């Protein structure tokens, strides 16, 4: 009866209900058809917590399996801003800023983000973690990660390089072999309740794959010996930079490799870019008199002279083209052997004139000057050795004595190692092998011959002359008691504003020992030393200290047997 009394009103009500139901159906249909994927994905995110499982980054070892870089446990601090009240955020900022030494404003900005997860501090020091782990702060927690640790600090920094906060290699071995070291991340998926609490019910799991280990040819002890000696010279002579390389001339293995200035691999951001530059492969310079090994080799190999032939050294002044060539210490008559021992520019150039430009260029090329050594270090440059078509009338008085040509320290190391190795050049390398987590070798480097510079009998003669450089010539400060050694000094004027400077020099020394059975080949380069600047004075003693201490170490290793 009541319905009949108000037919229009009832009709309106039913129409409204119908319209609402129709709209609900349309809305649900739209959600089901067009937004189902989005809502399903959102639900998955709310109820499924995916955790990346970090793999162990591979360890870098020296040749005797002493760790040079490894991963250690570290804790990172995170927050869930959505789960925190304003009061809780303020309290957290106050506590964390004090302990971590962080900017309060920066922390506040992170906690104001409308997110369920934000990093507050990654891989904090252990002592900071110990202070904070007992402090209860709502919405704040720790995640256990790992960070790169270099137990020897700066040792071999330019070989090792460094990795970033996420353990990705950025320089050196860490970068060049990153694809082997980094491993593969794993994944674990857990269910969460409506309040975003982990139920610890595992839904899915993919185990991480640990990175491979890299074993270097570097010997930690020889590396330490070399760096200590280089550092003393670098500081004593107020040099702008310095480098040292120690090779096994028989194999090309790099036993030590260092530059100054240097940096700490665990804190690279605290050093300027110049400190992190690998100068031994990336910087070039005119070699000066160490380059005379090219002329000496060519002269003996081509039978252009012999050790006893006498050359008149013009008492220190000799006209080449329109240029007066000078000797630092004027000489009269010298045998060819003495020309090299006393490092006479004039005597060397007279021999070079007899050989001619083509032969000098040929032998410089045989030593691989002007070419990369392909040692495998990022940033290596090739130096400059111009073709004879580009020589001027005075080039024959410059290139044979190490001017108008540029080299790197690694090129000089390979060259002197070739002399020591009876004229055979070996490709330098610094990684012995790479092994997986089970110890299986996945890649291995072997000694590789890259060319022959001279006959073995010629090499014996060159080595004898270079032994005389140390015993009777310009490198007497490199003499080692009871050890035969050979080498060559270099004191090169630097080019400043297009002319040779009389105050800036590169002091270098290249050498090997023992002469009878060379185990070590060394190059020492010191840039802009002062007040002393001669290669025999500045760099020769570094060679002496490194070879003397390294040979003692090697003789005591494994009961005195050859340990390399």
DSSP-assigned beta bridge partners for residue 512:
486, 521
Distant-in-sequence, close-in-space partners of 451: CB < 8 Å, separation ≥ 6: 366, 368, 424, 425
Q: Which of 123-127, 173-177, 299-303, 380-384 has the least mean pLDDT?
A: 123-127
Instruction: Please report whether residue 122 resides in a domain.
Output: no
d(CA 330, CA 346): 9
What gap in Å lies between CA 402 and CA 360, rounded to an integer? 11
Most confident stretch, 69-73, 90-94, 378-382:
378-382
Task: Read off the pLDDT band of 40 (50, 70, 90).
Answer: low
Whether 527 maps to a domain, the answer reads yes
Same domain? 231 vs 194: no
Distance from C-alpha of 75 to C-alpha of 121, rounded to nearest angstrom? 9
H or E element that contains 170: strand 169-171
488 & 366 share domain? yes
pLDDT band at 128 (very low <50, low <70, confident <90, very high): confident
pLDDT confidence bin for 195, thresholds 50/70/90: low
In the predicted model, what is the mean pLDDT of residues 357-368?
98
Residues 95-116, mean pLDDT to the nearest whole number = 83
Torsion, CA 8, CA 9, CA 10, CA 14, rounded to 10: 100
How many domains are there within the chain?
2
| pLDDT class of 560 with cuts at 50, 70, 90 | very low
CB 463 within 8 A of CB 419: yes
Question: What is the reported pLDDT for 352?
Answer: 97
More confident residue, 42 or 68: 68
Residue 396, number of CB atoms within 10 A of its CB:
19
206 pLDDT higher than 80: no
For residues 370 and 382, the answer to whether their CB atoms sit within 8 Å is: yes
In a domain, 79, yes or no: no
Structure tokens of 101? 């030494």
Mean pLDDT within 76-83: 83
436 in a structural domain: yes
Q: Report the CATH number that the domain containing residue 376 is assigned in CATH.
A: 3.40.710.10
Domain-embedded: residue 550: yes
Q: Identify whether residues 256 and 202 lie together within a single domain.
A: no
- Answer yes or no: is pLDDT of 505 > 90: yes
pLDDT at position 497 over 70: yes
**Does 229 lie in the same domain as 167?**
no
pLDDT at res. 185: 80
pLDDT score for 562: 46
Is pLDDT above 60 for 152?
yes
pLDDT band at 21 (very low <50, low <70, confident <90, very high): confident
Task: Give the domain range for residue 524.
Answer: 220-560
Asked whether the beta carbons of 192 and 46 are under 8 A apart, the reply is yes
pLDDT category of residue 142 using cuts at 50, 70 and 90: confident
Same domain membership, residue 332 and residue 478:
yes
pLDDT at position 35: 63
Task: Report the CATH number at residue 210.
Answer: 3.90.1310.10
For residue 201, what pLDDT is reported?
Answer: 45
Task: Mean pLDDT check: name the lowest of 81-95, 261-275, 331-345.
Answer: 81-95
Buried (b) or exposed (e) across 13-50, using 16+ Cβ within 10 A? eeeeeeeeeeeeeeeeeeeeeeeeeeeeeeeeeeeebe
501 flagged as catalytic = no
Among 143-152, 361-370, 481-490, the minimum mean pLDDT is found in 143-152
Among 100-104, 460-464, 509-513, the least confident range: 100-104
- Percent of the chain's residues with pLDDT above 90: 68
Q: In 263-305, where do the E strands start and end?
A: none
Are residues 392 and 492 both part of a single domain?
yes
Q: What is the mean pLDDT of residues 62-78?
A: 91
Catalytic residue among 76, 289, 343, 409: 289
Share of the chain above pLDDT 70, in %: 89
165 and 271 belong to one structural domain: no
Q: Is the pLDDT of residue 177 over 60?
A: yes
* Residue 202 confidence (pLDDT): 46
184 and 305 housed in the same domain: no
25: pLDDT strictly greater than 90: no
Residue 437 pLDDT > 50, yes or no? Answer: yes
Q: Does one domain contain both 235 and 258?
A: yes
* 69 within a domain of the structure (yes/no): yes
pLDDT band at 51 (very low <50, low <70, confident <90, very high): low
Task: Give residue 165's Cα distance to chain centre.
Answer: 18
- Report pLDDT for 30: 66
On average, the pLDDT of the chain sits at 90
Query: 424: Cβ–Cβ under 8 A, 6 or more apart, which residues?
Result: 418, 449, 451, 452, 453
Residue 154 lies in a domain: yes
pLDDT for 557 = 80
Judge whether 126 lies within some domain.
no
Question: What are the tens digits of pLDDT across the range 473-493?
Answer: 999 999 999 999 999 999 999
User: Which pLDDT value is given to residue 457?
Assistant: 98
In this prediction, residue 4 carries a pLDDT of 59
**pLDDT given at position 317:** 95
Q: Does one domain contain both 209 and 227?
A: no
**What are 443's strand-pairing partners?**
434
Q: Of 166, 190, 216, at which residue does a domain stop?
A: 216
**If you average pLDDT over residues 291-297, what whole number do you get?**
98
pLDDT of residue 76: 85
């Amino acid at each position: 009866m009541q319905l009949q009394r108000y037919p229009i009103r009832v009709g309106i009500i039913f129409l409204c209900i119908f319209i609402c139901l129709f709209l609900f159906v349309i809305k649900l249909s739209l959600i089901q058809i067009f937004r189902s994927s989005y809502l399903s994905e959102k639900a998955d995110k709310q109820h499924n917590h995916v955790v990346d499982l970090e793999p162990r980054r591979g360890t870098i070892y020296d040749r005797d399996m002493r760790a040079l870089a490894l991963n250690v446990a570290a804790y990172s601090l995170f927050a869930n801003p959505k789960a925190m009240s304003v009061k809780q955020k303020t309290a957290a900022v106050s506590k964390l800023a004090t302990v971590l030494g962080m900017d309060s404003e920066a922390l506040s900005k992170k906690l104001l983000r409308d997110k369920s997860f934000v990093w507050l501090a990654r891989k904090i020091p252990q002592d900071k973690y110990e202070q904070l782990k007992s402090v209860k702060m709502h919405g704040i927690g720790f995640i256990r990660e790992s960070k790169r640790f270099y137990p020897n600090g700066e040792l071999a920094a330019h070989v090792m390089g460094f990795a970033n906060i996420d353990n990705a290699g950025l320089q050196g071995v860490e970068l060049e072999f990153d694809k082997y070291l980094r491993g593969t991340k794993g994944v674990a998926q857990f269910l969460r309740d409506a309040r975003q609490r982990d139920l610890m019910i595992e839904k899915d799991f993919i185990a991480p794959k640990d990175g491979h280990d890299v074993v270097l040819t570097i010997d930690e002890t020889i590396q330490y010996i070399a760096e200590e000696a280089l550092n003393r010279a670098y500081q004593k002579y107020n040099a702008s930079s310095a480098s040292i390389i120690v090779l096994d001339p028989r194999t090309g293995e790099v036993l030590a490799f260092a530059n100054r200035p240097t940096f700490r691999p665990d804190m690279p951001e605290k050093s300027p870019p110049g400190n992190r530059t690998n100068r031994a492969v990336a910087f070039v310079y005119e070699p000066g008199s160490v380059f005379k090994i090219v002329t000496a080799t060519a002269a003996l190999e081509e039978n252009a002279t012999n050790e006893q032939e006498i050359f008149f050294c013009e008492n220190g002044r000799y006209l080449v083209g329109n240029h007066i060539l000078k000797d630092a210490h004027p000489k009269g008559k010298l045998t060819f052997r003495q020309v090299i021992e006393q490092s006479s520019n004039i005597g060397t150039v007279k021999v070079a004139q007899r050989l001619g430009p083509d032969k000098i260029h040929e032998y410089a090329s045989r030593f691989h000057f002007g070419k990369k050594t392909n040692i495998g270090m990022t940033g290596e440059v090739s130096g400059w050795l111009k073709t004879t078509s580009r020589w001027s009338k005075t080039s024959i008085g410059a290139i044979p004595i190490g001017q108008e040509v540029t080299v790197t320290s690694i090129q000089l190391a390979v060259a002197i190692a070739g002399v020591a190795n009876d004229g055979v050049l070996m490709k330098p390398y610094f990684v012995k092998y790479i092994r997986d987590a089970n110890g299986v070798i996945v890649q291995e480097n072997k000694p590789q011959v890259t060319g022959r510079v001279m006959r073995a009998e010629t090499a014996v003669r060159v080595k004898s002359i270079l032994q005389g450089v140390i015993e009777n010539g310009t490198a007497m400060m490199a003499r080692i008691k009871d050890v035969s050694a050979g080498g060559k000094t270099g004191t090169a004027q630097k080019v400043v504003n297009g002319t040779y400077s009389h105050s800036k020099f590169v002091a270098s020394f290249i050498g090997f020992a023992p002469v009878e059975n060379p185990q070590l080949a060394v190059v020492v380069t010191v840039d802009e030393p002062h007040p002393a600047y001669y290669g025999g004075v500045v760099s020769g003693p570094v060679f002496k200290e490194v070879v003397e201490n390294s040979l003692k170490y090697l003789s005591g290793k494994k009961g005195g047997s050859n340990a390399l």
